[in-house]
Amino acid sequence: MDTGVFWHTPLTSVEWPAAVTEIPANTFWGCHQLTTIKGIPSQPGAWDNITKIGANAFNECTALTTIKLPAELKTIDTQAFRTCTSLATVDY
């Protein structure tokens, strides 16, 4: 996945395949309608395979209210959730 691949797109939800282990920098920057992030139902544990969330990955995702951090997460780079003004709950 490339840096900033979904920058300022009108996504409302994202489902991760098990093969993805990193969310690069700026991936969802400005996705103001993004509310849901989860693994693909047919691939149990897919979201939990994420080991790194890059800088500004979710910057300005203002509709995101809750996130459950992946079980294998080792690194959250700077400002990964910057300006997520509705983010009220982070579970780990």
Domain count, the chain: 1
Tell me the pLDDT tens digit for each residue of 15-57.
Answer: 888 888 999 999 999 999 999 888 777 787 788 899 999 999 9
What pLDDT score was predicted for residue 53?
96
According to DSSP, the residues that pair with 76 across neighbouring strands are: 53
Write the CATH number for 40.
Answer: 3.80.10.10
Name the pTM for this structure.
Answer: 0.89
CB count within 10 Å of CB 91 equals 7
What pLDDT score was predicted for residue 28?
96
Reduce the DSSP state of residue 13 to 3 states and report it. strand
Which pair of tokens denotes residue 74?
């080792």
Round to whole Å and give the CA distance between 31 and 68. 18
Which pair of tokens denotes residue 21?
């282990």
What pLDDT score was predicted for residue 23?
95
Average predicted confidence (pLDDT) for the chain: 92
What residue numbers bound the domain in which 52 lies?
Answer: 1-92
Which pair of tokens denotes residue 79?
């400002």
